[in-house]
Amino acid sequence: MKSTVSKTLRYIPQKKLAVSEPPPEWFGNGPNAEGDKAWTNKNWLKSRFHFSFAEYSNPRNTNFGVLRVMNDDLVQPKRGFGTHPHRNMEIVTYIVQGQLTHQDSMGTSESLGRGSVQFMTAGTGIRHSEKNGGADPLRFIQMWLVPKANGLTPNYGSMCGTKISFDNQWAHIVSSTESDAKTPVKINCDANIKVAELKENKSIEFSLSKSRQAYFLAVEGSPVVEGEFGSQKFEQHDAAELYGEEKFKISGPGHVLIVEMDSDGEGGRSDI
């Protein structure tokens, strides 16, 4: 299938994502391990940036509506991000594989695995660390969303992945504090996050009204998205901007994530 750019879907292949592999000492890590068979990457961290972040600066790709950051991070065993600060951002982390251990300045400390969600209202300021203390690689998707207001009271929360089912169906895991939707995670932002794991020949639908937009990520597998525009096949790490008014059909096999939000009318990436 050829790449799709239409009024309702803009396909973003993983080759259009920025890749970062910073030196281990930048985040308080020791030297990279050599000859450790548990490591799946030579460097302790491999990040894929969907929007401008750190050393990747692209004025034509700074955000998608309220979604300011989406980083797809692969962290090797016994490595991680040392304590660092955040302010005035809603931060949602979805764990794909391995165990993520979080500690923060509010006294929180916990480890969560596949399908789990951690979230923070950074607000007036919070410091935290994120580490892989396990023997296997850790992969997680971290999203930063612009809050409805600055100066909010810092907050942390989580959802264990065993508490919700997303096999061949949508799991609505995040919604706004102002929404009536019953989700395990609430954030101070007009956005919804849904995930699903689809087996071969299984499909689900996702509808967008004219005033809404969504960012789609193929977390794993090779899902296909269909609509009035035609169809687009995805591979792991591929993404897309989705626009209303449209009803999308998403078919497996694939593990998919969607961040849905109010349309900002700006049209997303302008370099594709």
**Model confidence over 72-125: pLDDT tens digits?**
999 999 999 988 999 999 999 999 999 999 998 998 899 999 999 999 999 999
- Rounded average pLDDT over 17-28: 96
**What per-residue confidence (pLDDT) applies to 267?**
85
User: For residues 4 and 229, is the Cβ–Cβ distance under 8 A?
Assistant: yes
The amino acid at residue 200 is E
What is the number of residues in the chain? 272
Q: Measure the CA–CA gap between 17 and 269, rounded to whole angstroms.
A: 11
Within 10 angstroms of residue 2's Cβ, the number of other Cβ atoms is 8
Task: Give the model confidence (pLDDT) of 241-259 as tens digits.
Answer: 999 999 999 999 999 999 9
Cβ-Cβ contacts under 8 Å for 203 (sequence gap 6 or more): 249, 250, 251, 252
Closest CA to 217 of 197, 237, 202: 237
Cβ-Cβ contacts under 8 Å for 84 (sequence gap 6 or more): 27, 127, 128, 129
Q: What is the mean pLDDT of the chain?
A: 95
Q: Measure the CA–CA gap between 202 and 189, rounded to whole angstroms.
A: 31
Task: Give percent of the chain with pLDDT exceeding 90.
Answer: 93
Look at the block and give the residue holding tokens 């580490």: 131
- Rounded average pLDDT over 58-70: 97
Is the confidence at residue 4, as pLDDT, over 90? no
- With H, G, I as helix, E, B as strand and everything else as coil, classify residue 154: coil
Q: Measure the CA–CA gap between 269 and 108, rounded to whole angstroms.
A: 37
SS3 for 218-272 is EEEECCEEEECCEEEECCCCCEEEEECCEEEEEEECEEEEEEEEECCCCCCCCCC
Q: What angle do CA 208, 222, 194 make, to 5 degrees?
A: 35
Pairing of strands 171-176, 185-187: parallel
**What per-residue confidence (pLDDT) applies to 162?**
86
Token digits of residue 47: 């990040």
Token digits of residue 79: 């490595």
Q: How confident is the model at residue 1 (pLDDT cuts 50, 70, 90)?
A: very low
H or E segment and range at residue 46? strand 45-49
Question: Could you give the strand order of the β-sheet that contains 79-86, starting from the edge strand earlier in sequence?
Answer: 79-86, 126-132, 100-104, 109-112
Task: Give the model confidence (pLDDT) of 157-180 as tens digits.
Answer: 999 998 889 999 999 999 999 999
Task: Give percent of the chain with pLDDT exceeding 70.
Answer: 98
